[in-house]
Amino acid sequence: MPTNIESIRPQSWQGIDDIVIVGGGLAGLFCALKLAPRPVTVLAAAPIGHGASSAWAQGGIAAAMSPGDTVEKHLADTLAAGAGIVDEKIARLMISEGPDRIRDLLSYGVPFDRGLEGQLLLSREAAHSERRIVRVKGDQAGKAIMEALIAAVRNTPSIRVMEGYVVEELVVEGRFVSGVIARPDAGKSKTRVAFPARAVVMCSGGIGHLYQVTTNPAEARGAGLGMAAKAGAMIADPEFVQFHPTAIDIGRDPAPLATEALRGDGAILVNAAGHRFMTDLHPDAELAPRDVVARGVFAEVKAGRGAFLDCTKAVGAHFRERFPTVYASCMEAGIDPVTQPIPVVPAVHYHMGGVLVDADGKTTVDGLWAAGEVTSTGVHGANRLASNSLLEAVVFAARIAENIKGMLPESTLYEWPKNAGENDELVTLEDSPQLAELRRRMSAEAGVIRSGEGLKTLIRDIARLERENTRIRFSNMVAAAKLIATAAYRREESRGGHFRSDCPYTVESWRHRTYMTLKDAERTAAEIAG
């Protein structure tokens, strides 16, 4: 039951939470470092580096840094992948600032791969026209970037990291976000803690664990998207979910990833009969846009023929040193990728939609900024270009830091609102039957292939699950699921990561982004419920 705010205050931070960053992934840590020496509190649900998708990113960061590459070429590839709805102005801004952000990461100690003469080694990935992916040891970019940033954060006195704090609510006064309420002990505590703030930066990650099969860590459950939507923020493009075509199909949750770079280096996709099926579907075969490859793999799996990534000729004996992460995952499952094809399946990998932000990372709610996968900047359109996600995270995290520095003078006094409160319910989402059913239903009806009737059924199921489980953390997830499902239902066409079997073609009148609030989604859900 809610109680007076005074019951929270003794457990709250006694200093000034001028800026609170929600999330300890790449966007959150980079933003904190860029804000230094201004005091910042980072709230992370898991130990930093362990609950973030950034740490698992294998490919690297896309940046136009080679002699033959240009901003225009990188932009053209981004626009092509985005299937007609990329915000070109914002994408150009991101790509233009990419090289400077790479240099920032180098200054923080990120050991990007270099050649004998010290130049950065750049690789190519699907749908890129040039070699522009900055990598670390083949498939360890995310891990190495996060390790370097964590070390830099630990050595920055102005950054206070609070690990094991699961943020559950944004505190809203009118149209202004004035803080957050979090639950300590990895979300298992019965007591909640208030963090007042003059600026909140949401860097909470994506929505992968709204689905049954995903490559994302368990913390990526759409909570940040749901909280922002409940606070009144405008949401953009929630229907566009990217499925990685080659998650390793060995029954693990989350599913380990067979990096895009393997196909970039010549690995091919075959079915159980050894047929290379992608050559039937697209001129670029395995290097086609991810949504095309994901549907190709999905079709083979659904038909019972299976799908396998054959790296035996393209990588072969060099697998262990070139792709150690993938090699380890395969060997743990009894698969030797040097001599055996790897079983693969599409898995939710990235959400192109999210909280709408402008060029400075500002949301439509005052006091709330956002960066990383929780956002929709417009740079990905309907389908993210490989390795543009880490680029987006660092570019907009840096822009947020500059914007906050310019807008908000440092505070010396803050009055916490009187009506916040405490909630003593113990949340055990991991054991929730409603969560398990939500993930199954999202995969079945809002997955690689969707239909109007399936989405209507899903929307009714979401409403039922919401009635069955009213706990706040589940309600955040339900809000995110509702936005994805209703937007997918309303978009009666197929574009990028959104494919409707009953509307399998692009429709010119739908060549625009989606903008919706949670109230819009609830109105659509109510109409469907009848």
Please give the order of strands across the beta sheet that includes 308-310.
241-248, 342-351, 308-310, 268-270
Q: Are 48 and 69 in contact (CB under 8 A)?
A: no
Return the closest-CA partner of residue 471 out of 168, 43, 44: 168
Please give the order of strands across the beta sheet that includes 176-183.
166-173, 176-183, 193-196
- 169 to 182, 211, 228, 267: CA distances (angstroms): 7, 22, 9, 45
Return the closest-CA partner of residue 63 out of 27, 36, 101, 35: 101
Question: What is the Cα Rg of the chain in Å?
Answer: 22
Q: How far apart are CA 167 and CA 403, in angstroms?
A: 24
- Kindly report the backbone phi and psi dihedral angles of residue 185, in degrees, each rounded to the nearest multiple of 5, phi listed first: 55, 45
CA 256 to chain centre: 16
Q: Give the SS3 label for residue 18.
A: coil
Q: Give the SS3 label for residue 355.
A: strand
- Kindly report the backbone phi and psi dihedral angles of residue 352, in degrees, each rounded to the nearest multiple of 5, phi listed first: -70, -30
Q: Give the SS3 label for residue 94.
A: helix
Return the closest-CA partner of residue 226 out of 243, 240, 205: 205
Question: Residue 48 is encoded by which pair of tokens?
Answer: 């930093």
Question: Residue 187 is encoded by which pair of tokens?
Answer: 């979300």
- 309 to 157, 297, 335, 349: CA distances (angstroms): 46, 10, 12, 17
SS (H, E, C) 373-402: CCEECCCCCCCCCCCHHHHHHHHHHHHHHH
Catalytic residues: 290
Question: Residue 135 is encoded by which pair of tokens?
Answer: 């990598």
Q: Give the SS3 label for residue 515.
A: strand
Q: Give the SS3 label for residue 430.
A: helix
Question: Residue 176 is encoded by which pair of tokens?
Answer: 């202004």
Q: Give the SS3 label for residue 502.
A: coil
